[in-house]
Structure 1
Amino acid sequence: MNEHLDSLTPAIVWRHFRTLCNTPRPSGHEAELRALIERWAEARGLTHERDAAGNLLVRKPATPGCEQASGIVLQGHLDMVAQANADHPHDFTTDPIETYIADGWLYATNTTLGADNGMGVAAALAVLEDNSLCHGPLEALFTIEEETSMGGALGLAENWLKGDILLNLDSEDRGQVYIGCAGGADVLVTANLPTSALRDDERPWRLSLTGLVGGHSGIDIHKGRGNANRLLVRVLRALEPHGARLIDYHGGTLRNALPREAFATLALVDDEGEAAQARLSELQAELVAELAGVDDGLVLALEEVESTPDEALTTTASHMLVAALHVAPYGVERMSVEVPGVVETSNNLGVVTLVGGRFELCALVRSLRDSATRDIADRFRALFALIGAETRVENAYPGWTPDPESPLLARFRQLHQRRLGSDPEVKVIHAGLECGILGGKYPELAMISFGPQIRGAHSPNERVEIDSVDECWQLLRALIEELAEGQAA
């Protein structure tokens, strides 16, 4: 499958990306791809190791004469975000990604593409394969479960990496180089809420909110796009005067993706259905107007369902849960003063479920300041304690502190200027690059992050600009060769 990728330039990179597209690799299911890379490395005489967390490290000796050059670690993550349009059946654990080309960009058909971070992994493999490249000692570090928990980086073995320089290949902006990133943490809220039987005059209705763009919960959080959980809770609040009480709720699928769809089953009194639908039409017009030019596809629907559930949340429990969700922290909390134009702290209401009275919420807090992450987590704890819920924080990871005076950064900027005629933008990203975690374990590593142009990451609109892949590849090759010549500090 995806034979058309073999015709793209640089062939050595796209050939590896085709392999990644054809090999299912959602978070938690990287084993097949990891084993494939290990067999590939063995066939080329390259050594490889795994650590206890399941990360893979492939080593290649320096080109003869370059043994004294600084060792380079090429780093990317094997997993991809698994998001598909609701009307497109796709099993990310078994089905390959089907790609197509349009207007100079590579897309996937109704699913995420996996260019995040498949392009970085493909580039690292291409470097290992390219015997025409002059280089110092090379290591390619492929981590796991980056998209769900940062588990691979958090569990990375200490005293394992030997290189002096780390090139993270998980950035998504042409003409930019990243030198810092936000840290973050998952905030998990759970509660068992009281229910009562449906009355004889109540009927179940299915409420849905679909059609949003979605996107990355870090780099897209400031763009004003709709969050399906945030918006559907607003609709639920508006329907409470019609006697609505929640039976179940399902919104979002990943804590690090802006939710595109959310669904709820409601109990409504018989004679309130028509009025509720009329109110929904008003809400549709309001929300469409608010999101115009940013998120134009929103669709609200309310339909009576035939099956009759046994119970719904009590009126009080339903009201309290909807109220708590309505005021929960969401979106951009603060912009950075030190790094103008960069979000300092944000929160994404990523996944919300209610089944049989069991409520669960998973939010992802990001911040350049660990203290702000802790504060938002505590606000969740204080808020949801009012409805008897338990809040815990998991998978916390540190940010990456910028070093604008880095000699490695200076070398990259000079190279970019010579080859492309422009100075790259030096950026700090409001997302969880693994550099912060890796830097904590290996504080002597010099690090930068760069990559090709990727848009729509974490959504079925994900795409990569084909020309930017070749540009990024040429920069990567040139940087490795310059570092082998000993020109970098």
Structure 2
Amino acid sequence: MRILEHFKSICAVPHCSFDTQKLSEFLLEFSLKNGAKVRVDEWGNIHAIKGEPKICLQSHYDMVCIGEASNLELYEEQGFLKAKNSSLGADNGIGVAIMMSALERFKNVECLFTNDEEVGLIGANNFNGKIVSKYLLNLDSEDDNEVIIGCAGGLNIFAKISARMKKITPEQGYEVEVFGLSGGHSGVEIHKNIPNAIKILAKILRQNNAKIVSISGGERSNSIPTNAKAIVVASDFKVQKNQNIRVKKLGLFDKVLSNSDKILTLINAFAQGVRNYDKELTTPINSINLSTLSQKNGSVEIEFFARAMDDSGICDLRFETSELAAALGFELSYKDRSVAWRPSQSEFAKDVLNELRNFRPNAFITAIHAGLECGVLADKQHGLVACSIGPNIHSPHSKNERVELASIKIISQVVDKILQKYQ
């Protein structure tokens, strides 16, 4: 399959978020070679136009790097493509590969390769070009039974407190680590109740009456944490035997964080996961993930990522989380990540659905509990009609990420049929 060849060529080039320059150069050269007029903006967005297109294909070309990524060692197993001991980057590298194939074979096509989506939809939020096509087909969805016409908005919430140390009578120190959890996407997998390493660590520390010397955890704002670690002091430390928990006895320590109790209280009192669920759309309405925990520059900072299908939901999550954190003495700050994209059925979406139903008879139109760049782009450009499809990708943003090979073929054929129809 030509698309797999393209995907493997992408995987050979490092492209973790914030480290995408080499892949940007690769995609620029490829687009020019295939007859497109190309503009690359200061944010790394690559806008390629061939002929007089009616459809713009759009994917992001950065990936969440977990485990040994970006050194990707690909292998096939039971009909799936995987990467050994790392995330795969099928999110959204398969979409990029489909777009590369379209540039090779169609006279009229527009492709927008956006940058740094996984770290705040940075490329899409800062894109200031004009999409010339009337229709936008995003290829960043992860279920080939769905045509997405709406998505959740997102907000990063940061709670910061002083990391000032206080003197104590020397006490036994321990290094406590939660590691190797499965992790997952904090949007499309938040309803699965995937264990959060930071939450697990904080509970263990409180159960042992431990005081924190140092603490950290999590990988990305949009990932459920797989690892967390702390150095603590305690009179004794006991934990049930668990392959994902390690306790190492250290020497004596005579200083701990003065705000140790407040940090543990916030983490333990915080309600991780789905707050409201829409049974009709079979998707969460509001959810929030405790994403990262860091200690630097004299502070301990906890990052939360809130998602909601409308602005009022975001406001509720912000209010509830901020009230809890402020009551414990944390300073709050916020960073908008993406706007909510309100579901609206269009004839274009119905055309895509009809083509998809040739392969997936039970396919349906729905919304997704994650941020999609097409929502940002449609909000920026009035009159742009958008929807999103993609192959079956399981456990994105984790070492268990895998993409179904048969599903890639289905989505690529749907894209071909739609491009042919709108030539």
TM over 0.5: yes
Q: Between Structure 1 and Structure 2, how many residues are aligned?
A: 423
How far, CA to CA, are the matches of 1:421 and 1:352 in structure 2?
Answer: 42
Secondary structure (helix, strand or coil) at the match of 1:305 reads: strand
Structure 1 runs (4+) deviating above 3 angstroms are 354-357
Secondary structure (helix, strand or coil) at the match of 1:345 reads: strand
How far, CA to CA, are the matches of 1:192 and 1:101 in structure 2?
Answer: 48
Residue in structure 1 matched with residue 365 of structure 2 by the alignment: 426
Shift of 1:421: 6.2
Tell me if structure 2 keeps the 8 A contact 1:195–1:357. Answer: no
In structure 2, runs of 5+ residues without a counterpart are none
In structure 1, runs of 5+ residues without a counterpart are 1-9, 63-69, 85-89, 285-296, 485-489
Tell me if structure 2 keeps the 8 A contact 1:212–1:298. Answer: no
Match for residue 306 of structure 2 among 361, 365, 383: 365
Secondary structure (helix, strand or coil) at the match of 2:376 reads: helix
Match for residue 401 of structure 1 among 329, 342, 352: 342
Secondary structure (helix, strand or coil) at the match of 1:48 reads: strand
Match for residue 381 of structure 2 among 442, 451, 472: 442
Q: Deviations over 1:400-443 (max 9, x none)?
A: 11113x101221222233x3261412221101111211111113
How far, CA to CA, are the matches of 2:306 and 2:405 in structure 1?
Answer: 32
Shift of 1:211: 3.5
Shift of 1:356: 8.2
Tell me if structure 2 keeps the 8 A contact 1:312–1:357. Answer: no
Residue in structure 2 matched with residue 208 of structure 1 by the alignment: 177
Residue in structure 2 matched with residue 230 of structure 1 by the alignment: 199
Superposed, 1:120-199 pairs within 5 Å as 120-130=95-105, 133=106, 137-158=108-129, 160-199=130-169
Residue in structure 2 matched with residue 105 of structure 1 by the alignment: 80
> Does residue 71 in structure 1 map to residue 54 in structure 2?
yes
Larger Rg: 1
Match for residue 356 of structure 2 among 416, 420, 426: 416
How far, CA to CA, are the matches of 1:378 and 1:256 in structure 2?
Answer: 20
How far, CA to CA, are the matches of 1:191 and 1:420 in structure 2?
Answer: 53
> Does residue 299 in structure 1 map to residue 238 in structure 2?
no
Counterpart AA for 1:429? I
Change (3 A) 1:26 1:310: farther
> Does residue 48 in structure 1 map to residue 38 in structure 2?
yes
Shift of 1:332: 0.6
Shift of 1:215: 0.5
Shift of 1:74: 0.4
Tell me if structure 2 keeps the 8 A contact 1:416–1:423. Answer: no
Q: Is the deviation greater in 424-433 or in 45-54?
A: 45-54
Residue in structure 1 matched with residue 227 of structure 2 by the alignment: 261
Residue in structure 2 matched with residue 4 of structure 1 by the alignment: none
Counterpart AA for 2:218? G
Change (3 A) 1:371 1:396: farther
How far, CA to CA, are the matches of 2:385 and 2:150 in structure 1?
Answer: 12
> Does residue 239 in structure 1 map to residue 208 in structure 2?
yes
Percent of aligned positions that are identical: 30
> Does residue 478 in structure 1 map to residue 417 in structure 2?
yes
> Does residue 322 in structure 1 map to residue 268 in structure 2?
no
Match for residue 292 of structure 2 among 326, 330, 351: 351
Change (3 A) 1:326 1:357: farther
Q: Is the deviation greater in 341-350 or in 191-200?
A: 191-200
Residue in structure 2 matched with residue 66 of structure 1 by the alignment: none
How far, CA to CA, are the matches of 1:46 and 1:412 in structure 2?
Answer: 25
Change (3 A) 1:415 1:128: same
RMSD of the alignment, in Å?
1.9
Secondary structure (helix, strand or coil) at the match of 1:24 reads: coil
Secondary structure (helix, strand or coil) at the match of 1:440 reads: helix
Shift of 1:21: 0.4
How far, CA to CA, are the matches of 1:215 and 1:388 in structure 2?
Answer: 30
Shift of 1:468: 1.0
Instruction: Report the TM-score when normalising by structure 2.
Output: 0.95
Q: Which of the two has greater strand per residue? A: 2
